[in-house]
Structure 1
């Protein structure tokens, strides 16, 4: 039973695979532009009667903090044969509260993947894409302290939690079992600006008066930045010590205040597997903690590779981070997705109102927009999409047909330009093969920290309605040797190119060459052949990157149909002999210096869609390569299915078996030279 307090939820946007629906829950009179803007978006490949934007009050919700609004809210979520991908947005100016009734006993006040009796759930957690929740207060204070969860968050890529307050019962010691977020499994995602009072990549999280701020029951790799943990007996705790269920974690820019044990670790140099429980901490203020890291105060945990190989439990020299990377307090700079609170609705120019003429904030109404030539994005512009509108690159256009002469579909600025561009909540796809398309070329250099940025922007190639790259045309055929890839199933030349003079702040972006169907009823796995993912030619700092080798490789090999090109500094695979070598590199640092990588998950799950290779870590020979480079730091490297973790100038420096973790292999630090 739920009661919504004050203004009820401002908005819920529901996404059913690639079909989007907006559910409006805002109270009348909100001053936020998002509540006032005229809704004229439509679902391009859906039912014309489908309700895109919904108000829970139209479904019977009262929102007075007393009435049971559970049924009304669930009707708004589910009407119209709804399924997956809900986006929940509250009023950023006056955040609504959802209060759990004292009798509440569910898996979460908000549940992203409902369990059925017997343990089955709505969907496979690793395929639970495209969900957002932001600008909410979730109140569990009336629920008995022995139970209650704010959000059950069992999700994958293209998901986020942002600007949420979890109010729970304070005190009670071990008897208090309330939790703000419960994430039992999943595969990617992002969280920022969360506050928990009472009990993936996560930034700016605050915990007040919790028994335990963060309990990590499992992970492969997780990156935290900007934690503030106040008045908590335990800060960060690995579940079930001494059992090694935690893979690895990176935690940076964190402050503890009145905390008994800041970090509890189950790592030691005799643990099995040898790298389980790897933990890296950077730029910590432990002065408010009685114990910094139990069992060893002020230590770093994990396997380290430099000029020597060693199990490390100790300090590490500070890194020479450039000033452009840091904020005023000396931590890593970050900037959350802009909400444009101070702008009136008149400042926003919807694209369906006779296009955009260059003034105001460009608002792209939901829909599918077909482009046949390069879109030039000027400097000094703000662009926001209504629930991931589709920018559809028409592959049959002559400009994108030449695999030997690639051209950008979207060009942001020109080389040498300086200024501001902010882009959020947009999804780029193709219509059919576009072998000569660079989906986005970013040339702009910022004129201030974070002024050139993208938030929640996606590149999705194939697997959805309208792309012509679906299971009816590009179904997998692992039993048939693919010597010449089907030209009708080619994706693009390159997803994103950040050029040498550019600077770009990116947060929770995802480029996905679809391995399976989303919209067709069969949901079958598919073959899409894409040339390249992300090419960055300027200075770089990464916080938790993830890559997965194409599931069909080496059938065909990575060099088909896109032949390596020296002009693009491609790897040439000339040293390969085994079939497992002719596969996509997860990470390649070429002719670079001062590269900082805080978390890299490089995964290879299949050999021609067969996962038997996982048991022997032989799905792929290589993971990461450093070539002609120096001053490179990789913290928290986690690989799956790979034989060698890191090569430097063609020589393997990191052995396979010495770094086994709970499922894959991990390193705390790789420093070169």
Structure 2
């Protein structure tokens, strides 16, 4: 589609102004989530309240460059253009289906276009849309409602099947663990017109990484059998998720019927729900800023072995019969309870009665208080309150920032990079155009990336005052010789320069490489905010290989010879201060768009040196050679759930192959493995390395470190098997480093925690700590 010349001229003529801070907007009584999505920073003078969302009014220029015959393919689809009425009485089911299916889209990416070839943004304007059967979503789909006036999707009284979901977010064309790149936000989902005896649900969300569920209000019939979210992926289970948050649930039998491997939850409110969260299956669950009011049971873990571990932090419960019920590895911290029954009910016995745990830490499970491997099995005890350092907001809670949507702005405040010369066609060098747009827009405009693949041959510099928004995960892709030298790695996307302070917000983007580039650092953050949370990434992901937009899909197929496709995915430097929510750092183990073998040896996942504050909320880092997460002399890190998988081909070849450890980057060298009788299983990716004598205040609440294979075979991979020697390495830490590792879960690992690297001391072994998907520690406090 074309764009208006006036838009470009008007944008260029508006001078940049100094950013100002703003107080939160008042609570919106109709859409209670809207008070959480105000934008903290915007140009002065203050903009007027908007009547509609800018997303519907800007030119829509998104393309799918690697789709054959893509000229007429439409990324942005307004449901009203496909016949939806939104009048509260017409049946709009067919219109939603038409909008989703347009362009020959089909389930599972099986139309010959792969998983990434047919992206779609389904826009839902204000209104009430009645549906009589489930709305089926596909992978690579985002459904986004009007963020100023949430639309309502309402199940009709005749909704069928009676046990169906109003929105079927699980794409049955893929298994639940490969349901990637699906998003849903800015909606009310209403089942109040359906019979109270029906087992209807608002959403089936059996999905995995790189999915986005935020800003949805679930309105269920009171005293009914209705469920807000179910996770039913059939025989494949409920998925492998990372994050969901900023949701509300009112009424019904169950808010979230939880069935997934792991999840980070944040900012979720349950009101008048019989059971807020009913756990069917879960290995790692971390619940931050949860609010329960007038609930029978807030969180019901139920039978033994239903959940590996549960962490509940910075949360409240009012007028609930039981707050947390079940038998598992539990961590409760700063939980405020009023007018309620037992806070914790285990195997029919009250562990913590009506008293709350405000500014306290309480744990049940296996504990290590020192580094000599002494295990304490606790049926419940208080611990010294976790040192939170610089990680809290003004109320003493861990910082939690919701994804910005800029609802105070109109369309004239949004500038498309395609309006200033970028092509996003996967062929043109867009470096100069993007850098020019970011420079011009800093402090005065939102920079919008319509869907596309934007090749860059040099560093993209993001200056203070930047706000960047993508469309269905718009892609920035490194290309060319600048990124080819592993001895002199080069940054593709640089957020600020060392020492810079300001605002940089990045949402709905994807970072990748267009070729095998051993010197590519995909993202580097140097900037800190003048206030905590000023520098943030939301729903932005990293992918190396596995897709048609990169030559790595076809160039890295040789078994036993993983290619050095990228040096490092994310680097948070010493001067940075970064909030990251919902990020998947994926070195591809399989091909999303074809059937090519993927043998990709990305060097490193995320490297953190920051001391000013780092918040990781719902992140995953998978299949890197040296490590998934590494910190060096880092301070003030908060983690709400992190998930890791070891490369499926290791230990053939064994780490560090194909890389040579680089001391400048504090790489592990694995030389101690020569002293180990199980040397091959020693030479595998570290899930987590915490290194350095200046380390201080690293607080991790919930982790899942999974090892499934040795050289693609599952012989070692049963729950009690040993595919890998160790996954957590603590090196050169001071005794009082304030490092708190809570609810650490593993699979296929012999040693959960090692001190001193590959030939170090086994500080906690899986055989001593059974549970979860193989092993679980409630708390490792050897350096607290």
The answer to whether the superposition gives a TM-score over 0.5 is yes
Task: Give the equivalent residue in structure 2 for 1:221.
Answer: 284
Match of 1:632 among 739, 748, 753: 739
Q: Deviations over 1:204-247 (max 9, x none)?
A: 111111111110111110111111100111111014x2x42211
Task: Give the equivalent residue in structure 2 for 1:646.
Answer: 753
Q: Deviations over 1:447-504 (max 9, x none)?
A: 101101111111100111120111x433353xxxx3xx36xx3211100111112110
Shift of 1:443: 0.6
Write the distance in 2 (CA, Å) between the matches of 1:64 and 1:107: 23
Write the distance in 2 (CA, Å) between the matches of 1:186 and 1:637: 20
Write the distance in 1 (CA, Å) between the matches of 2:649 and 2:449: 35
Q: Are 1:553 and 2:669 counterparts?
A: no
Long gaps (5+) in structure 1: 1-5, 8-28, 115-120, 268-276
Whether the 8 Å contact between 2:766 and 2:776 is mirrored in structure 1 is: no
Whether the 8 Å contact between 1:166 and 1:180 is mirrored in structure 2 is: yes
Helix, strand or coil at the partner of 1:219: strand
Q: Are 1:663 and 2:770 counterparts?
A: no
Structure 1 residues 221 and 593: alpha-carbon distance in aligned structure 2, compared to 1, 3 A threshold: same
CA RMSD, 1 decimal: 1.8
Task: Give the equivalent residue in structure 2 for 1:31.
Answer: 52
TM-score (normalised: structure 2): 0.76
Please give the residue correspondences for 1:160-239 in structure 2 after superposition, counting only pairs within 5 Å.
160-171=212-223, 176-184=224-232, 185-199=238-252, 200-239=263-302
Please give the residue correspondences for 1:46-445 in structure 2 after superposition, counting only pairs within 5 Å.
46=67, 47-82=70-105, 83=107, 84-104=139-159, 105-113=162-170, 121-146=172-197, 147-171=199-223, 176-184=224-232, 185-199=238-252, 200-239=263-302, 241=303, 243-265=304-326, 267=327, 277-294=328-345, 295-298=349-352, 300-307=363-370, 308-354=374-420, 355=433, 356=437, 357-359=439-441, 360-394=445-479, 397-445=480-528
Write the distance in 1 (CA, Å) between the matches of 2:530 and 2:296: 43
Helix, strand or coil at the partner of 2:173: coil
Please give the residue correspondences for 1:507-522 in structure 2 after superposition, counting only pairs within 5 Å.
507-520=581-594, 522=595
Task: Give the equivalent residue in structure 1 for 2:606.
Answer: 534
The list of structure 1 runs, each at least 4 consecutive aligned residues, that deviate by more than 4 angstroms after superposition, is none
Whether the 8 Å contact between 2:766 and 2:774 is mirrored in structure 1 is: no
Q: Deviations over 1:112-155 (max 9, x none)?
A: 225xxxxxx42111111011111100001111122110010000
Whether the 8 Å contact between 2:740 and 2:780 is mirrored in structure 1 is: yes
Whether the 8 Å contact between 1:149 and 1:179 is mirrored in structure 2 is: yes
> How many residue pairs were aligned?
612
Q: Deviations over 1:85-121 (max 9, x none)?
A: 321111111100011112222531111225xxxxxx4
Write the distance in 1 (CA, Å) between the matches of 2:165 and 2:558: 38
Write the distance in 2 (CA, Å) between the matches of 1:658 and 1:141: 49
TM-score (normalised: structure 1): 0.88
Q: Are 1:601 and 2:667 counterparts?
A: no
Shift of 1:250: 1.0
Whether the 8 Å contact between 2:387 and 2:738 is mirrored in structure 1 is: no
Shift of 1:30: 5.6
Helix, strand or coil at the partner of 2:76: coil
Q: Are 1:573 and 2:670 counterparts?
A: yes
Helix, strand or coil at the partner of 1:325: coil
Shift of 1:49: 2.5
Q: Are 1:586 and 2:607 counterparts?
A: no
Match of 1:474 among 543, 546, 556: 556
Write the distance in 2 (CA, Å) between the matches of 1:327 and 1:431: 39
Bigger mean CA deviation after superposition, 70-79 or 306-315: 306-315
